[in-house]
Structures are given as structure tokens and as C-alpha cells.
Structure 1
Amino acid sequence: MNDMTPIVTAPKDWETDQEVRWCPGCGDYAILKAVQRTMPEIGGTPANTVFVSGIGCSSRFPYYMETYGFHTIHGRAPAFATGIKLANPELDVWLVTGDGDGLSIGGNHTMHVLRRNLDTQILLFNNEIYGLTKGQYSPTSREGTRSPSTPFGSVDHPARPCAFALGSGGRFVARAYDVSKQLPDVLKAAHAHKGAAFIEIFQNCIVYNADVFAEFTDKKNASSHQLWLTDGEPMLFEKGAKGIALDREALQLKVVDVVDGDWQGAGVIVHDVKNRAVAHMLVEMRFGPFPMALGVLYDDPHPTFESAVVAQNRELSEGKTPDLQALVSKGQTWMVEKEPRTE
């Protein structure tokens, strides 16, 4: 058991002596600072925290956090995180991945860490491009994306990370973007959730896919194209002039006008983080008249994978004395006798 006493830290206590090296203007800098600011506020302890990453620009993250860390292999960070959490369930494990690392070669691993409900925070940086390998299209690239691997435009239908997370059985699904002031609050909510907490973070790749999210991230577009969700609050945007309602006949969401602040009369629905059906609808709101749904879309805790494993092991070992030799000798074993050497 871990009897480590919590300590009071400041953001600088989470910074390493390593030079932070991303392209100038990369959104990863803002995400790193948001995480370093958040750790003291959640009462984190560097010696009890582990950051695990795969391969990609985002996967440099462990080098810049003054914690334990693993920079692992392409797409396999969830497997390492699972082993770490099973070895010591009391560790605070953070998993950092990208849209290529986590949804292409690592898609299978991401699916299983979500459905198993391992208690870890999964930060998926989505810039809709492969940055580290110089700008090829990724699983989340939009149709028509021109890149070195799709010079005439991508014909792939892009993956939706939050839809993938919900479809994989994720119990916590959220969205934010790199420079959003609300990102620390989303990180705190993810940490408070016991189980696999999935956050899609829209991240601007200034070199290979610059401003791809400007439609809703630019300040001039924020009011009319961002819907920040709060549990128990009406789904309002554009300074309260518009809202999201449920078309009960078509069973789909729609945008409605709110007159004189009467959101109830307009049929605007109240956000319920435990409503999985509406969460599925929210992740599909992206283009046309709809704003981008941001914040915590779904949060419905369930017993975690590691807690079930620990409980099972405890039950099976109760009243038994560990005997490694008996375990090794169990089943088909035999002794190889050395025959006398003959000349």
C-alpha cells in the first residue's frame, strides 16, 4: 500500500530541467502549461504520478513533467498504463496520445483501455494531421485534406474521437482545445472521475494544419460556435440568444432561438452528464448551424478494472500461504538427471 503523504506544490514543481521542444506556436505548449497548473490544484504528488505516452509530437510530454514517465512505443501506451496501474493501483496515471498514435495503430489499445475502465486520464491531442512524420493525413483528417500522402485530397471519412470513446464504452468523455481557459477545469473533472477519463483536446499544428479549428476557436467565432456544457445548466450559446433543443419527432438535436432569456419556453434542454444518448448526439454536432460541444459531455462512473482485479486476487488468495516452489512444480514437471559420462 502507498502511504505517501500529500504535499503542497506549485506549477514550477511539475516542470523538468528539459528544454521544451515543439515547433514555435504549437498548441502543445499551452496544454503542457494547463496540466502543470492543474496538478497542484488537484493535490497531486510528483512522486506518485506517472505520465505515459506513445509516439508523436504529443508523446514528448513525459519529458517535461517532473514525475515518473514512460515514453513507450507507437500506439501501445494504454498497455503500459494498464500494467503500471495493476502493479500499483494507487498511482495517479495519465496517458498522453495523439489522433494518429491513439486512433490508428493504437486504436485497438485505446478501445480496450476504455472498455476495461482503467482508472487513468487519457489526453488525446487532436490536430487532424500527422505532425511528427511531416504532415501526412491522419485518422481524423477531414475529407479533402491535402497532404504528402493525399496530394489530391483525402477521401477517407474521418474518425470522431469522442464518438469512438463512447462507442468503446467510455464512462467519461470530454472536449476542450489547447488555449481554452476552461481546459484546467476539464482536466480536474477528468481526474475526479474514477475510471477511464477520455479528453479530446483540439490542438493547433501551426506547421502542417494551421488554424483547422479556427471556425470555433477564434475569439471572433467563440460566442456563436462554442457550446460549453455544465451539468444541470441549459445548453445555451451566442450569449444566451441561442440554445440546443431536442426534436422529439426526429429524435435529434436542433438549434433554437431564445427570446428575452426564456430558454425553457424555447425548449432548450438542460445538460445531464449521465445521459449517454444525448452525449452521442452532442459529439456529432460539428458543422452547419451547430456549435462545437465542449466541456464534459458524459460522466457516469462505474467500478474500475484494477479494483476488480485486486478484489479477485484478494478473494482467491484468502487463507492460502504463498508457495512459489509448489506453483512451479504444479502440473507436468520432471527432473532431468545427469547421466554419468562414459569415455
Structure 2
Amino acid sequence: MNDMTPVTTTLKDWETDQEVRWCPGCGDYAILKAVQRTLPQIGANPANTVFISGIGCSSRFPYYVESYGFHTIHGRAPAVATGVKLANPDLDVWLVTGDGDGLSIGGNHMMHVLRRNVNMQIMLFNNEIYGLTKGQYSPTSRPGTTSPSTPAGSVENPASPCAFALGSGARFVARGYDISKELPDVLKAAHAHKGAAFIEIFQNCIVYNKDVFDDFTQKKTAAESQLWLTDGAPMLFAKGAKGLALDTRTLALKVVEVVDGDWQTAGVLVHDVTNRTLAHMLVELPFGPFPMPLGVIFDSPAPVYEELVHARNAKDAEGKSTDFAALLRKGQTWTVSGTAQDPV
């Protein structure tokens, strides 16, 4: 087992000698720097850290982080990451995927790593498009998205990564976006969670889906369009002038005005990261009538898969021989002697 004692590193210690090759202006650059800034702050050890990715623009990530890494095959990163954690539960595993890699061909694998609650951080870069393969629409593309595979516009209902994660049994769900200064705090919260921590990161694809998230990521509209969630704090936005409350008639969330800072009288809800029902309501909110919920949406730890597997194996081995050679010789044996006959 590896020593998990925090070590002292700097951002430079996590940079590799590889040329970072994404399109100029890609949001992946900002996410990479956010991760490289976060790792020293949590005391991560490069010798004990593994980045595992599938296929896609986001999946170049392991080449650019000075640690161990696997660049695996399309959609299968969760399966490889699960194997790594089972082989050595003490490794600090970060899974990097995209909306196409993780929710299309990899949707099945993603569901199982979440429901099993394997202890790792899962960063899903959502740019609502297939960037690496030249701009086809993805599972998260909005209706009307024009692309080489939907020249007349997509007619599909997009998948919600966070709703998918909650529906799969995830015990930690969070959101951030590429250029947000709060993203490292979201990553730190995910790392502190014991279990599968799912983070959806909105990422600008400068070539094939440029500025699709501008309606809530731009500074001039951020106050009105972003709701940063803090456990135990009222769900306020628009500089405290608005908040989310529960409509007791429809049992749905609604936006309310807050007068003179009196959010209690306005009925603004206090965020509770352990409330799964509230988390479902937040991730299903339609943007436009509502702000975009960001930060830690749900955090309710549960026993982790690899520890349960190892504990079960240890119990099954109680009182049994662990001498493999002896086990092979155990039971009925026989000896073959004589000279082999020539084939007829």
C-alpha cells in the first residue's frame, strides 16, 4: 500500500514536457491549469496519482499532468479506472472524459462506476459537441444544433450529465465551468469526498460550438445567471436580490424576489448537500427562467466499492490456505508414466 501523506509540490511539478495541443482558445487549457493548481493545494503526490481518460479532446489530459496515466479506448475509461482502484485502492485516481466519450459509447460504463461508488474524481468536460471528430452533435447538444451529422438541426432531447449521475446513484455531484475562478474549490470538494465524485465542467469548444455557454459564463451576466451553491447557505443570486424557494402548490422550485436582504421572509431555501430530492430539482431546472446551479449540488458519502470488495475477499480467505502451490497440489492427483505411443 502507498503512503497517502500529503506532500509539498508546486504547479510546475505537475507540468510535463509534452506540448499542450488543443485548439487556441479551447476551454481545456483553463481546466488543465485549474487541476494543476488544485493538486498542490490538496497535497497530492505525483507518485501516487493516476489520470485515466478515454477518447476525445479532453482525453489528452494524462499527457499533460506529471503523474501516472492511461489514455484508454472510447468510453471505457471508467472500467479501466475501476480496475486500477481494485488493484491498489490507495491510488488517487482522476477520470477525465467528455460528453461524447462518457455519455454515448461510455454511458453504460459511467453508470456502473457511479452506482458502485468507486472512490475517484470523475471530470466530465461538457462542450455539447464532438470536437475531436470534427463537430458532430453529441448526447448533450441542444435541439436545433446544426452539425455535419445534423445539417438541418438536431431534434433530440439532450442528456443532462448531472441528472444522469444522480439517476445512476452518484453520491457526489457538482458543476463548474472552464474559466471559473471557483473551479479549484469544486475540485477540492470532489477530492475530499470519499467515493465516486462526479463533476460536470462546461467547456467552450472554440471551433465547433463557440460561446454556447456565454449566456451564463460572461462576467456581465454572471450575477443574474449563476447560482453558486454553498451547503448551509441560502440559495441566493443576482447579488442577493433573488433566490430559489419551494412552490408548495406545485412542489417545484420558483424564483422569488428578496427585499432588503430578508431572504427568510421571501421563503428562500437553504442549500443542503445531503438532500437528494433537492439535488434532482436543481439539476433539472431549465436555464433562462432559472439561473444555472453551480458548485457542489449533492454530497452524501456511502461505503466505497473497492473497500467492500477487499473486505469481502479478506473474510472469504479467513481460515483458508493462501499458498497457491499447495492449493494446486490439493485433492485427487495422479501420475502419468510410460512412453507415449506413436500416432497411428
TM-score bucket of the superposed structures, by smaller chain:
over 0.9
Rate the CA distance shift 1:42–1:5 in 2: closer, same or farther, 3 A: closer
Instruction: Give CA-to-partner distance per residue, 1:230-287, whole Å, 9 cap, x none.
Output: 0000000000000000011201000000001010000000000001001001001132
Cα distance in 1, alignment partners of residues 44 and 183 from structure 2: 17
In the TM superposition, what are the counterparts of 1:199-278 in structure 2 within 5 Å?
Answer: 199-278=199-278
**Structure 1 stretches of at least 4 aligned residues deviating more than 3 Å after TM superposition:** 3-6, 325-339
Cα distance in 2, alignment partners of residues 296 and 332 from structure 1: 59
In the TM superposition, what are the counterparts of 1:1-343 in structure 2 within 5 Å?
Answer: 1-3=1-3, 5-328=5-328, 340-342=340-342
Cα distance in 2, alignment partners of residues 264 and 334 from structure 1: 82
> Any idea what SS the aligned residue of 2:263 has?
coil
TM-score w.r.t. structure 2 length?
Answer: 0.96
The letter of the residue matching 1:98 is G
Cα distance in 1, alignment partners of residues 333 and 155 from structure 2: 58
Contact kept, 8 Å, 2:6 with 2:42, in 1: the verdict is no
Rate the CA distance shift 1:252–1:322 in 2: closer, same or farther, 3 A: same
> How much has 1:314 moved relative to structure 2?
1.2
Cα distance in 2, alignment partners of residues 241 and 90 from structure 1: 46
TM-score w.r.t. structure 1 length?
Answer: 0.97
Rate the CA distance shift 1:337–1:82 in 2: closer, same or farther, 3 A: farther
> How much has 1:339 moved relative to structure 2?
5.1
- Runs of 5+ in structure 1 lacking a partner? none
> Any idea what SS the aligned residue of 1:132 has?
coil
Cα distance in 2, alignment partners of residues 75 and 252 from structure 1: 35
> How much has 1:6 moved relative to structure 2?
3.6
| % same residue | 76
- Runs of 5+ in structure 2 lacking a partner? none
Cα distance in 2, alignment partners of residues 156 and 333 from structure 1: 63
> How much has 1:335 moved relative to structure 2?
7.2
Instruction: Give CA-to-partner distance per residue, 1:140-174, whole Å, 9 cap, x none.
Output: 00011000000000011100000000000000000
After TM superposition, the structure 1 stretch with the greater mean CA deviation from structure 2, 331-340 or 123-132, is: 331-340
Rate the CA distance shift 1:316–1:281 in 2: closer, same or farther, 3 A: same
Instruction: Give CA-to-partner distance per residue, 1:41-93, whole Å, 9 cap, x none.
Output: 00100000000000000000000000000000000000000000010000000
> Any idea what SS the aligned residue of 1:265 has?
helix
The letter of the residue matching 1:197 is A
Instruction: Give CA-to-partner distance per residue, 1:285-319, whole Å, 9 cap, x none.
Output: 13232000000000000000001011111111123
Cα distance in 2, alignment partners of residues 294 and 69 from structure 1: 28
The letter of the residue matching 2:70 is F
> How much has 1:325 moved relative to structure 2?
3.5
What is the number of residues matched between the two proteins?
Answer: 343
